[in-house]
A and B are shown apart, each in its own frame.
Chain A
Amino acid sequence: MKLIRIPEDKYYDYRINAMFDCYKWDPQFYDSNTLAKYVLVLTREENERIVKITENLDIETRLAEEYLNKNIKIAEKLSLPKEIIKQIPNMQNYDKYKNIRLMRYDFHPSIDNNWVVTEVNSDVPGGFAESSLLPDLARKTINSPNLKYNSFGERMVEAINNKLNKKGTIMLIHCTCFSDDRQVMQFIGDRLQKEGYKVIYGAADHIEFKDRQAYCILDNNQHKIDLIFRFTPLEWLIKMRPKTWYGYFNTTTKSCNHPIGIYAQSKRFPFVWDDLEDAGISMKTWRSMLPETIEVKDASKREGFIYKPVYGRVGEKIAIQEACRGDEYKKILQDVKKHQKQYIAQKNFNSKPIKSDDGMEYHICLGSYTIEGNHSGYYARISPYPRIDSYAADLPVLIEN
């Protein structure tokens, strides 16, 4: 694995091309440039190893969520929001063959030259264009046409074509006030339009359900929906008023993702592994990859644990002392103390910084997607410190041939 620097004299155009041609609409976060000046290149062996682990994790995760969906008592250990627990009976018609299952597993290199997986983005992973178009722009910029990549976008289009056969209306559900949500949707929407689908951009409450079928209610776009592609997290969806979101849980309209994704999205997922294994579902890969994860109350007597919110996203609110800014660490600890069930404690692993070809060192998070169980590309970010959060920079991933 190596980090190759994008030549300084090419970076200005690279950044602008990333914005205009690769849907990178959020290139700055406070004072941090969120488009890396590097390209990550994996060896073929590294890629093969990650693909294998990813697909094994996915087998376990999908079996786990199907089991949890049928066993509410066990699912309750995940501290799911009450509104979602109430909806579990309505999810019993979930049909894995009908819906499209998308996940992204976060890999980090550790100092013992292994990989650590810290979580799965099981509900609404993002980074689509960064993993589909940015690698091609990067390999042209560094003039390395022989490096290859697995395009997430193309794998997703194949998966959708398998379900819809290039016909129908797809609604891209997102928070319409956020351009960084729209950029994810616009990429996939433009690509699907080329494929021949009618694409509608809208918010979660622009869908109404009649006899469990989804319909768009946007002005001049009243249509029967054939696929709901959701980028609004479930924890946000259930705050929607009036409560028209019930329909997402029992709809017969195909979904990507169906709300079944909420089970593994909870960082308390490891707390049900014993139950899963008692039921004959092996969690062997997960156990070998995820750092020890315990209840907050049990971490006070032990050293070397960090705290993570049960429904945290993009690295926010993770208490790693050396990676927090200002009084952030103190504030998170106060919140952990106050809301113990909303956090988990996870053994801090030693992230191995990768040295770039210009001598700098960066920590990496390598997100590995699966669509319908198959590895479907990478989304990577780098940071000068060992927490990959909103200040981190997007990094295209290429693979040696």
Chain B
Amino acid sequence: MIGKEIYKIYAPLGAKWTEWIRPVPFIAIDTYNRKSISTWVDRKVMFLKQYEPDTAIFIDLPGKESIELGIALAPMGYRPIPIFNGTDEQKGSKPTTDTYLVESSLITGSQKLKNIHLENNANPVFLLDSYRINRYRATKSMFDNSWDLYGQDIPSAEYFIENGIKKIIVIGTKIQRDLKKIFAKFQEIGIKFYLTDGYLPATRVILKKFEKEEL
């Protein structure tokens, strides 16, 4: 049972924001006997000079890169919060989304993270896999394990504001459709959004309001 121990490294007792860490990929580490990866890249934080107390970060890069950059932000003071929520495919079938790399990278990431001191109230850097929304099935016999992020999977906008977050930086090529839907509501109550590819400084983005809202 190593998934549970790895989960505890990301979600230590008393650390803020960790309630939102999804257990799904950590459970799969045990179910599918995942091993740490040998291709881990220690990344350098280029887009941000220092910890900003009013800022939370969402990394929306391919899973492995997302975890690598999330761990790179930890020494600066940000706590990595993995919110990967994709399940593994039926054995033998072809998946739409690769969860293996995420699960393995979380193991390697935990080995780095356990040696980094983080304050209990450190601001979060949420980790996402940008491939999550690959819903295309070339044939009907493929297993669709794509997933969207929903509002319920992260803290509410009010929670962010009550906890001093006024600004969210998204790292990715764009703000993907599921995030747009959630963040448009965040913007309405005053949170500002910035986008960066992870290298250049983040620039302000204004999100369009979603006209049709489901009850």
Give chain A residues whose Cβ lies under 8 Å from the Cβ of B24: 25, 179
B141 touches A176 (CB 8 A): no
Known interface pairs A19-B23, A19-B27, A203-B144; A335-B90 also in contact (CB < 8 Å): no
A12 to B13, CA, bound (A): 7
B152 touches A30 (CB 8 A): yes
Q: Which of A310-339 contact B (CB under 8 A)?
A: 316-317, 328, 331-332, 335
Closest to B144 in A: A176
- Name the distance in Å between A182's Cβ and chain B's nearest Cβ: 4
Known interface pairs A12-B13, A30-B152, A202-B90; A331-B23 also in contact (CB < 8 Å): no
Closest to A200 in B: B90
Task: Please tell me if A356 contacts chain B, counting CB pairs below 8 Å.
Answer: no
Total contacts A-B at CB 8 Å: 96
Q: Which of A1-44 contact B (CB under 8 A)?
A: 12, 16-17, 19-20, 24-25, 27-31, 33
B27 touches A31 (CB 8 A): no
B215 touches A335 (CB 8 A): yes
Give chain B residues whose Cβ lies under 8 Å from the Cβ of A202: 90, 93, 143
Given A16-B11, A28-B153, 6 more contacts at CB 8 Å?
A19-B23, A29-B152, A30-B152, A176-B87, A177-B146, A218-B93
A20 to B145, CA, bound (A): 20
B155 touches A219 (CB 8 A): no
B152 touches A221 (CB 8 A): no
Give chain A residues whose Cβ lies under 8 Å from the Cβ of B3: 20
Give chain B residues whose Cβ lies under 8 Å from the Cβ of A20: 1, 3-4, 7, 23, 26-27, 30
A219 touches B92 (CB 8 A): yes
B92 touches A220 (CB 8 A): yes
A218 to B1, CA, bound (A): 30
Give chain B residues whose Cβ lies under 8 Å from the Cβ of A176: 87, 143-145
A179 touches B147 (CB 8 A): yes
Q: Which of B122-144 contact A (CB under 8 A)?
A: 135, 139-144
Kindly identify which residue among B20, B27, B85, B94 contacts A219, using a CB–CB cutoff of 8 Å: B94
Give chain B residues whose Cβ lies under 8 Å from the Cβ of A206: 140-141, 143
- Name the distance in Å between B32's Cβ and chain A's nearest Cβ: 12
Task: Please tell me if A97 contacts chain B, counting CB pairs below 8 Å.
Answer: no
Task: Please tell me if B86 contacts chain A, counting CB pairs below 8 Å.
Answer: yes
- Name the distance in Å between B188's Cβ and chain A's nearest Cβ: 12
| Top 3 A-B pairs, shortest CB-CB distance | A220-B92, A19-B23, A182-B87
Kindly identify which residue among B94, B140, B144 contacts A177, using a CB–CB cutoff of 8 Å: B144
Kindly identify which residue among A179, A220, A317 contacts B85, using a CB–CB cutoff of 8 Å: A179
Closest to A309 in B: B215
B141 touches A217 (CB 8 A): yes
Give chain B residues whose Cβ lies under 8 Å from the Cβ of A33: 19
- Name the distance in Å between A186's Cβ and chain B's nearest Cβ: 8
Task: Please tell me if A305 contacts chain B, counting CB pairs below 8 Å.
Answer: no
A27 touches B19 (CB 8 A): yes
Task: Please tell me if B192 contacts chain A, counting CB pairs below 8 Å.
Answer: no
Q: Main secondary structure on chain B at its contact with chain A?
A: loop
A219 touches B93 (CB 8 A): yes
| Contact surface of A with B, Cβ cutoff 8 Å | 12, 16-17, 19-20, 24-25, 27-31, 33, 176-179, 182, 200-203, 205-206, 217-221, 316-317, 328, 331-332, 335, 390
Mask for B150-172, Cβ within 8 A of A = 1, else 0?
Answer: 01111110110000000000000
- Name the distance in Å between B133's Cβ and chain A's nearest Cβ: 10
Task: Please tell me if B148 contacts chain A, counting CB pairs below 8 Å.
Answer: yes
Give chain B residues whose Cβ lies under 8 Å from the Cβ of A203: 143-144
Kindly identify which residue among B7, B94, B139 contacts A16, using a CB–CB cutoff of 8 Å: B7
Closest to A334 in B: B215
Kindly identify which residue among B90, B139, B215 contacts A221, using a CB–CB cutoff of 8 Å: B90
A219 touches B87 (CB 8 A): no
Kindly identify which residue among A177, A219, A316 contacts B141, using a CB–CB cutoff of 8 Å: A219
A25 touches B147 (CB 8 A): no
A282 to B152, CA, bound (A): 42
A328 touches B92 (CB 8 A): no
B140 touches A205 (CB 8 A): yes
Q: Which of B6-22 contact A (CB under 8 A)?
A: 7-8, 11, 13, 19-20, 22
Give chain A residues whose Cβ lies under 8 Å from the Cβ of B20: 28
Closest to A181 in B: B87
A177 touches B23 (CB 8 A): no
Give chain B residues whose Cβ lies under 8 Å from the Cβ of A221: 90-93
| 29 intermolecular pairs with C-beta atoms under 8 Å apart | A12-B13, A16-B4, A16-B7, A16-B11, A20-B27, A20-B30, A25-B24, A28-B19, A28-B153, A30-B151, A30-B159, A31-B155, A31-B156, A31-B159, A176-B143, A177-B148, A179-B24, A179-B87, A202-B90, A203-B144, A206-B140, A206-B141, A217-B140, A219-B94, A219-B142, A219-B143, A221-B90, A221-B91, A335-B215
Give chain A residues whose Cβ lies under 8 Å from the Cβ of B85: 179
Known interface pairs A25-B24, A30-B155, A217-B140; A178-B92 also in contact (CB < 8 Å): no
B87 touches A390 (CB 8 A): no
Q: Which of B7, B86, B87, B158 counts the most A-chain CB atoms under 10 A from its CB? A: B87
A316 to B214, CA, bound (A): 12
A390 to B215, CA, bound (A): 13
A112 to B154, CA, bound (A): 39
Known interface pairs A19-B23, A31-B159, A217-B140; A178-B215 also in contact (CB < 8 Å): no
A335 to B11, CA, bound (A): 41
Give chain B residues whose Cβ lies under 8 Å from the Cβ of A328: 215
- Name the distance in Å between A6's Cβ and chain B's nearest Cβ: 15
